[in-house]
Amino acid sequence: MSVKLRVNGVEHDLDVEDEAPLLWVIRDEIGLTGTKFGCGIAQCGACTVHVNGVAQRSCVTPVGSVQDADITTIEGLSAKGLTPVQQAWIDHQVPQCGYCQSGMLMAISALLAKNAHPTDDDLAEAITNICRCGTYPRIRAAVRELAKVKG
């Protein structure tokens, strides 16, 4: 039972079952706890990471299915300092409790990588992550500004 995983550019050789959820492997085997557990059934998006640059919900992703992939977590996103998205989150004072924001930032970053000028409708369609504190108005304002700056 050996799984090879590449997380934030670092190779890990792990003694876990193929079907172990990526979320818990990242958190408890590798020790990166920025990625959060919210629902366990891909509903809330707190566990969102990038798999080859695409946002994916790690709580339902078996590690065996992403062995050859490049996986990025929130820790990897800010490895070289804050990204413009993270800075916009500070400028707009987005987080409240902050628990969903790792997943939210990963989902938004993946969206912006694909579509540098998302409209409100693009945002509504692409981002289904749940924030219980209700930071959506600020997320929308931050993304509007990022969409403009990126022009």
Partner 1 sequence: MPTRRTVLLGVGGTAGALVVGYALWPNGRIAAANRIDGSDTDKFVTNWIKVSNDDTITVVIPHCEMGTGTFTSLSQMAADELDSDWDKIRAEQAPPEVVFANGAMIEGFALDGKTVPPFLTGVAANTFRFMAANVPIPGVGYVPQITGGSAAIRFTGMNAIRVAAAAAREMLVKAAAARWNVSVDECSTKSNRVIHTASGKSFGYGELTAEAANYDPSSRPRLKDKSNYTYVGKPVQRFDIPRKVNGTTNYGLDVKQPGMLYAAIKISPVFGGKLKSVDESAIKGQRGIKHVVKLDDAVVVVADRFWRARDAADALSPVFDPGANGKVTSASISARRKAALNGGDIKSDVKSGSGADALKTGKLVEATYEVPYLAHSPMEPMNATAIYKDGELEVWSGTQDGLGSRDFCAKAAKLAIEKVKFHLMPMGGGFGRRLPGQWNYLTYAVQTAMAVPNVPVKLIFTREQDTQHDFYRPNVMSRFRAALDDNGMPLAWVNDYTTDDDPNPQAHIVYDIPNQAIGASKVPTHVPTGAWRSVEASWHGFFVESFVDELAQAAGKDPLEYRRALLSKAPRHLATLNLAAEKAGWGRPLEAGRARGIAMVESFQSIVVHVVEITIDEKGAVKVDRVVSAVDCGMVVNPDGFKAQIEGAILFGLSAALKGEITFENGAVVQSNFTDYEMLRIADCPQIEIHLREDDGPVGGAGEPGVPPVAPAVANAIFAATGVRIRELPIKNHTLKV
Give SS3 for 69.
Answer: coil
Helices within 30-135 (DSSP H only) = 74-77, 84-91, 101-114, 120-126
Does residue 31 interact with partner 1 by CB under 8 A? yes
Say whether residue 115 binds partner 1 (CB under 8 A).
Answer: no
Interface with partner 1, residue 116, by CB under 8 A? no
3-state SS assignment for residue 145: helix
* 134: helix, strand or coil: coil
Among 44, 110, 112, 146, binds partner 1 (CB under 8 A): 44
Residues that bind partner 1 (CB under 8 A): 17, 20-21, 24, 27-29, 31-41, 43-44, 46, 73-75, 77-78, 82, 86, 89-90, 93-102, 105, 123-125, 127-140
